[in-house]
Amino acid sequence: MEEEISLQMKDLVHPKEKILYRLCVLITIVGVIGSIMAIILGLVDKEEMQTIMGGFAIIFVVIYQLGKMYAKTQVNSIKLSKRQFPEVYEIIEDFAQKLEMKKIPEVYVVQQGGVLNAFAATFFSRDYIQINIDIFEIAYREHKDLDALSFVIGHEMGHIKMGHTKLKYILLTFASNLIPIVGATLSRAREYTCDRHASYLCPQGRKSLVLLAAGKHMYKNVDVEEVVKQGQYQKGIFQWFANATASHPVLAKRMKALMDLDTPGRLF
């Protein structure tokens, strides 16, 4: 029997996310101030100056990439609405209300050659989610699993609710991504946070996240408890690095955190 889920809004953020975010912001601020001071004091040569100026130009590169990504999604995808897949759009409206979001994000479905993926992004004031068709269709074919799709949507809406997709957030944490492990650790904390958002919104869909490893046809046949037990044997320096440098928690750790929501997901 499924354990009763009693998550509250205050419990949805991984306890290490905020401190890691502050650390990453500090790294970026120190990097920017240090670069400016080096230029003022004439401590950089021509090549170093070009590198620093290229770093400052990152804001324009990020805006361009975000705009390009949004436009590509918009023109190549099917947008959900009250008339387009209304049963799914109703879930999105309900989740937005439960998360106390000021507006409902745009949600698009797109064909990506069989890749099981979804992501959330923001281009200025436009929050949106892209769901690849191979995840979306699990609600309509074979397993007719609307809970699994709802869980994925809830996870991505968590990213938007937490501000992970905002331009300010991306720029303030950018420098930490240049340091091995540091930026990746914040990313894993974010993923745990958004898994908890999804668990709050659709607790019955938690086990279905294993579809990212098992695929849309076989995930229903996977014993999730056995997946969690795998983590007991995944020990060693290379296994540690595989997790420490990953943007998402390794599968056994992620599923363990989902099955035991009273314990925060382990970052290492």
Identify the helix (H) or strand (E) that includes residue 183: helix 182-201
> pLDDT digit of tens for each residue in the chain (268 aa)?
345 566 777 789 999 999 999 999 999 999 999 988 888 887 778 777 777 777 778 889 999 999 999 999 999 999 999 999 999 999 999 999 999 999 999 999 999 988 899 999 999 999 999 999 999 999 999 899 999 999 999 999 999 999 999 999 999 999 999 999 999 999 999 999 999 999 999 999 999 999 988 999 999 999 999 999 998 888 899 999 999 999 999 999 999 999 999 999 999 9
Helix then strand then coil, % of the chain, to nearest 5 = 60, 5, 30
Instruction: Look up tokens 């100026």; give the residue.
Output: 53
Task: Identify the pLDDT of residue 1.
Answer: 37
- pLDDT, position 5: 61
> Nearest 5 degrees, angle CA 184-CA 118-CA 203?
90
What pLDDT, in 10s, does the model give residues 61-93?
A: 999 999 999 999 999 999 999 999 999 999 999
Q: How crowded is residue 187: how many other Cβ atoms within 10 Å of its Cβ?
A: 19
What backbone torsions phi and psi does residue 142 show, to the nearest 5 degrees? 55, -80
**The pLDDT value given to residue 53:** 79
Instruction: State the amino acid at position 80 in one-letter form.
Output: L
pTM over 0.85: yes
How many CB atoms within 10 Å of residue 138? 23
Q: How many CB atoms lie within 10 A of CB 168?
A: 9
Residues 255-266 as b/e (b if ≥16 CB within 10 A, e otherwise) read bbbbbebeebbb
Whether the CB-CB separation of 176 and 23 falls below 8 Å is answered with yes
**Quick check: 35 and 55 in contact, CB under 8 A?**
yes
Query: What is the per-residue DSSP string for 151-169?
Result: HHHHHHHHHHHHTTTSHHH
pLDDT at site 119: 97
What was the pLDDT predicted at 6? 60
